[in-house]
Copies of this chain bind each other. A is one copy, B any other.
């Protein structure tokens, strides 16, 4: 099927996998899959009175233990005011510890506390469980393709951050 309104349909490859239909499939599948992807953590977060923003913060503070606030801001791609609101709550609730930098005392280095670690574990476990089941159903070859296309979908700047993250 050729979308008569598309200006890029003229460039569309003759190869079957670059049809309008396949592109649309991917677009809608991303939308619905992302819903599934966030469903399980959202349920857990609700119990504790947190939202997705808290999840993201907790995830990357765990992932990049000791990260500075600025680094976390770059990863999350939000304003400091927005992050600060989330961070303030996590700190006052005792899930995150903010340590003054040893070399540069202006910096704050963020760590999860035991309590924060516990929440992170619940969240990531739920998410890994779904990912695990999807991987298992889809099989090795599909997983490799999945990873590859996701990487290609990323914006260049974001891709660079993602690669940095992997190097650690």
A interface list, Cβ under 8 A from B: 5-8, 11-13, 15-18, 20, 22-37, 39, 56, 63, 77, 117, 121, 124-125, 127-155, 158-159, 161-162, 165-166
Interface residue from B39, B117, B150 paired with A33 (Cβ < 8 Å):
B150
Residue in B16, B17, B124, B138 whose CB lies within 8 Å of A148: B138
- Tell me which of B33, B37, B139, B144 contacts A151 (CB under 8 A): B33
The answer to whether A138 touches B149, judged by C-beta atoms less than 8 angstroms apart, is: yes
Separation of A108 and B111 alpha carbons in the complex (Å): 52
Which residues of B sit under 8 angstroms from A29, Cβ to Cβ?
147, 150-151, 154, 162
28 A-B pairs in the complex with CB atoms less than 8 angstroms apart: A5-B117, A5-B121, A6-B128, A7-B125, A8-B125, A8-B129, A8-B132, A12-B132, A16-B140, A17-B135, A17-B140, A18-B132, A22-B143, A22-B147, A26-B147, A28-B162, A28-B165, A32-B161, A35-B77, A36-B154, A36-B155, A39-B155, A130-B153, A135-B152, A138-B148, A142-B145, A143-B145, A145-B146
Report the Cα distance A159→B28, complex, angstroms: 11
Q: For the complex of A and B, list the 4 residue pairs with the smallest distance between their C-beta atoms, beginning with the closest.
A: A145-B145, A142-B145, A134-B152, A146-B149
Q: Chain B: which residue is nearest A127 at the CB level?
A: B27
Q: Which residues of the other chain, B, contact A128 by a CB distance below 8 angstroms?
A: 6, 8, 20, 23-24, 27
